[in-house]
Amino acid sequence: MRTPRYQQIANELRSRLESSDYTAGRLLPSEATLSDEFSVSRVTTRRALEELRTEGLIDSRQGLGWYVAAEPLRQVLSGLDTIEDQLAASGVVAGRRVLDFAFIDPPRRVSDVLGPGRALEVRRLNLADGEPFARVTVWCPETIGASLSRDDVEARPFYDLLSEELSIPLSGAQQTIGAGAASPADAELLGVPEGSPVLICERVTRSADRAPVLLSEHIYPAHLTAFTVEMPSAGNSEAPTGLRLVE
């Protein structure tokens, strides 16, 4: 009996997955692209993809499309850790590539947090096993950034540079996490469709004297990461501590 066309396509895609042509979390070509490649209708392509999803090999998300199934990398919000520390704890090789390094007159939000004056702005792409994992922008006061070079921030995390190289003890940080859509620039860097769901994290890190020394923005593709929070008992409230509505 002749193998149905959708099954042939599923077999071919399964072979590509098994040969590591598509790494975990990577987006698959769109349904339209696959339909053109195999000269079939979208209905046939969708049936092949659904079969692979049933097998747990791929998954899909609204606004993102189909991607290789992968357990999201989990970051635990219980201490002052870096992305690199969190990835290493998951057995993932972390890397970073600096995109921009410049002293600037900062935007309003940055000056509201760090205070008046110029700031060092560092944009970088964080990698997990060589694949884009997050776009990160870090700002620090010029008084601190003047002691750092582009090579420094590409070689080591800011936390290590401040605490070990500049002898600035850190007391903690406040992190806010929200949902958003990938901008054209971030979509290109992260290899996801424009407008696809992302997690937007803002972190304000303070020194031992409670002065803000770093403001950072982290953009994560929503299908690649998850945050875990320990919530001790707080009376009868069922809402996570710190939950607030966005105005």
CATH of the domain spanning 5-68, picked from 3.40.50.1000, 1.10.10.10, 3.30.1540.10, 3.40.50.11610 = 1.10.10.10
- CA count, 13 A, side-chain hemisphere, 115: 10
pLDDT tens digits in sequence order for the chain, 247 residues long: 788 898 999 999 998 888 866 777 788 888 999 999 999 999 999 999 999 989 888 888 877 888 888 777 777 666 667 777 777 777 788 888 999 999 999 999 999 999 999 999 999 999 988 888 899 999 999 999 999 999 999 999 999 999 999 999 999 899 899 999 999 999 999 988 888 899 999 999 999 999 999 999 999 998 888 887 776 665 554 555 554 545 5
209 three-class SS: coil
**pTM of the complete model:** 0.78
Max intra-chain CA distance, the chain: 76
Every domain range in the chain assigned CATH 1.10.10.10: 5-68
CATH architecture for segment(s) 73-228? 3-Layer(aba) Sandwich (3.40)
Give yes or no for a contact between 123 and 100, defined as CB atoms under 8 angstroms apart: yes
